[in-house]
Amino acid sequence: MGDQEVSVSSSRQIAVISEEGIVLARQAGREMSAGLGLSETDQTLVATAISEVARNIILYAGRGVVELEVTTGPNGYGLRIRAVDEGPGIPDIELAMRDGYSTGSSLGLGLPGARRLMDDFSITSDPGHGTIVTMVKWGGTVAPVMEGVSP
């Protein structure tokens, strides 16, 4: 890793109950990924993936939260995104991950599209209790200095 440092909030939570929450989550994802030194292309991929999963929260659950967290791993620094809702859940995740499948009026590109944009992707769902989508984009080159944490 490089020896640059940047101040980055280690985590953020954005309530998603309207279009405004989607916009705020996208902006936070872009800001945090930029702070980690992700390329502009990767920043756009992160923002797009967040938009897809946050829109699903509104469409299918009505409300939820997008959690963003700086993480480290064998691939360096990354941004972990968790989209959490307490909606009806997904009864058949395999089917939901197929391109073109939708229970609504969308094109069915949200979850499979988000999976293609990110480096790591997992989804768990408990029908009747909600869904958690976890995604990570790796490639941060800047050592984060967490706000409020002394080096």
Q: What domains can be seen in the chain, in order of their start residue?
A: 5-146 (3.30.565.10)
The SS3 of residue 44 is helix
Report the C-alpha gap between 74 and 142 in whole angstroms: 15
pTM of the predicted model, to two decimals?
Answer: 0.84
pLDDT (tens digit, 0 to 9) for every residue of the chain, 151 residues total?
343 444 455 899 999 999 999 999 999 999 999 999 999 999 999 999 999 999 999 999 999 999 999 998 877 889 999 999 999 999 888 888 876 666 554 444 588 989 999 999 999 999 999 999 999 999 887 776 655 443 4
